[in-house]
A and B are shown apart, each in its own frame.
Chain A
Amino acid sequence: MLDALTLLRAMNGIHEEDVVMAGKLYFNENTARKTTKRLLTLALAAALLLALGAAAWAAWSIHISRQQDLRTDLKIEENNAGSYMEYDVTQQEKAGSAASLVLLSAVNDGEEERIYVDVSPVAKEDIARFPSDVRFAWSIAGTEIGGFAGPQLPVTLSLSGDEAIRKAVLEYAYDEETQTLTLQCYADVKFLKKAMADLDTDSVPLQMHMTVGENDSHTFGPVPFMLTEEQNRTFDFGHAQYHDEQLDKTIEIVGLELTPFSAVWKVRYEEAASFHAPGADPEAYRPWSMLEDRVCIDAKLIFSDGTEFSTGGALTCPYEDGVVRLHCGWGPAINIEDVQRIVLHGLVLWENT
């Protein structure tokens, strides 16, 4: 009679080399925790290089190189961003799906999932028509859920004009040899969860689309994608009141939800409900709008080395349950565990005691 113990014993049938490979990963304590996945990826890549030859290597190497660029650009290791998920690109290539879509990495910044992918082949002539005549989008196959995507450029890059953008895309996001383009998608977590519910799965089929001109459309993928985990830190300011003398207004700063890439300032004030009601005239509430900006832009997060960080202006500001939630986002990660003080002008909102 087959029982679980017999089955457990029968695992002795697993090929020795697979046992050894798993053992190397498990017992390698000298490998720093943060680099384990990368080393595993590289080890698998090396093994596959031997198995399948140099042609496949060109594709893997560009994916691996892009992952390294992203890690550096987003300051993942420098700021200990635990919510950053990196995928095994060698496995995706090995799977050899018709899809020429490779998941590089993703990060859940609370409200949005930032997904970084490589798509290929993309002709250099098509890149030459970007951005005026080429559009990128992501979607979840089998649903109507999707959104815009764009070439992944260094987060600190500041560009002006189509020619400058094209040049930057060719330099930073495109690999001519493998005709691979690196894209980023901003996917609303709410929509991804809806797609999961609609398809009754936690692994949704993500695909990318490129439209050149009016009718020439290409689809890459799909590949299975799962929501990654959020890393956050919540600060309670105990209903701190900030009075702005210039505007002669007082705002209550309830708290802050912080992730390595985003923040939500929670504020209350007397006219918040009417200001954020549909159809409200922004000009009529201008002082409150300026006060919201004061909180997001002027408040400083102070780290242990004395450096300061501003979350910047809010991208969205929904009003929910009596509280305005000011959503801010930025490029490179910050170390949320290292925040020591939060101040707004002379008001200390929070201090590590």
Chain B
Amino acid sequence: MEDREIVDLYWRRSDLAISETDKKYGRYCRTIAMNICGTKEDAEECVNDTWFRAWNRMPSERPTILSAFLGCITRNLAINTIKAKNRIKRGGGEAALALEELSECISDGKSPERVLEEKELEKLIERFTADLKETDKMIFVLRYWYLVPVSDIADKLQCSQGKVKSSLFRTRKKLREALQEEGLCWTH
């Protein structure tokens, strides 16, 4: 079924909306949730909550890209889950590793010069990623949006893990510089 037709089902409050969404995007959302949560139970809960949130947000919203709309909801729910369950530690799934990597981009223990609103930070990320080279961007999105393990990214892009790590390292360095320009982190 086309995305437009699925969205129409939500707008018509049809019971089929959720089953058709699950049929088309169940695997997509479960993978995102699983990458972040690391357990099937939590992932399944996130996906069920995603359908519930989608049901509540439509018809007031009409997503332009349904996969990104649903994936974003799942992603937020999964991040909330690991935060609530205090799973943010090494060995707690791919999120723990990704967070450790991202921590390189931020604080050194000092107070921030200013606090960005979450939306403002998202805008910064949007501008930052828009300027990346295509392959670096692809690797960055796979790693920090989808939380895909480095080995899987290398496999998908048919390149070495070293190349993926090297690209991520360079991009994180650039991100740190971009954040520094906004006064959000500091040089040592």
Interfacial chain A residues near B133, Cβ < 8 Å: 91, 94-95
Residue of B99, B100, B105, B125 ringed by the most chain A CB atoms within 10 A: B125
Residue of B nearest to A33 (CB): B155
| CB of A12 within 8 Å of the partner chain | yes
Q: Is the CB of A226 within 8 A of B135?
A: no
Q: Which residues of B, 113-152, contact A by the 8 Å Cβ criterion?
A: 115-116, 118, 121-126, 129-130, 133-135, 137-138, 141-142, 144-146, 148, 152
Binds A, one of B12-20, B45-53, B54-62, B160-168: B160-168
Chain B residues with Cβ under 8 A from A158's Cβ?
none
Majority-rule SS of B interface residues:
helix
Additional pairs, 17, CB under 8 Å, beyond known A11-B125, A14-B145:
A1-B115, A2-B116, A4-B106, A6-B121, A7-B106, A10-B125, A12-B125, A16-B68, A20-B65, A23-B71, A26-B156, A44-B134, A88-B134, A90-B134, A91-B133, A91-B134, A226-B163
Q: Is A202 an interface residue (CB 8 A)?
A: yes
Given A8-B98, A8-B99, A16-B68, the answer on whether A21 and B138 have CB atoms closer than 8 Å is yes
In the complex, whether B184 has a CB less than 8 A from a CB of chain A is yes
Any B CB within 8 A of the CB of A346: no
Select which of B27, B138, B145 is within 8 A of A11 by beta carbon.
Answer: B145
Q: Is A348 an interface residue (CB 8 A)?
A: no
A111 close to chain B: CB less than 8 A: no
In Å, the complex CA distance between A13 and B175 comes to 14
Interface check A229, CB cutoff 8 A = yes
Interface residues on B, range: 35 or more
B27 near A22 (CB under 8 angstroms)? no
Known: A13-B121, A20-B65. A40 touches B157 (CB 8 A): yes
- Is B39's beta carbon under 8 Å from chain A? no
Q: Which residues of B contact A25 (CB under 8 A)?
A: 138, 142, 156-157
A interface, how many residues as a size bin?
Answer: 35 or more
A194 within 8 A of B: no
User: Closest 3 interchain pairs by CB?
Assistant: A13-B122, A37-B158, A13-B125
Contact indicator B102/A4 (Cβ below 8 Å): yes
Query: Is the beta-carbon distance between B102 and A8 smaller than 8 angstroms?
Result: yes
B185 interface residue (CB < 8 Å to A)? yes
Closest CB-CB distance, B171 to chain A, in whole Å?
Answer: 12
Determine whether the beta carbon of B129 is less than 8 Å from that of A14: yes
Residues from chain A with a CB closer than 8 A to the CB of B141 are 11, 14, 18-19, 21-22
Nearest residue in A to B137 (C-beta to C-beta)? A18
Interface positions, chain B 83-101, Cβ under 8 Å from A, are 83, 88, 95, 98-100
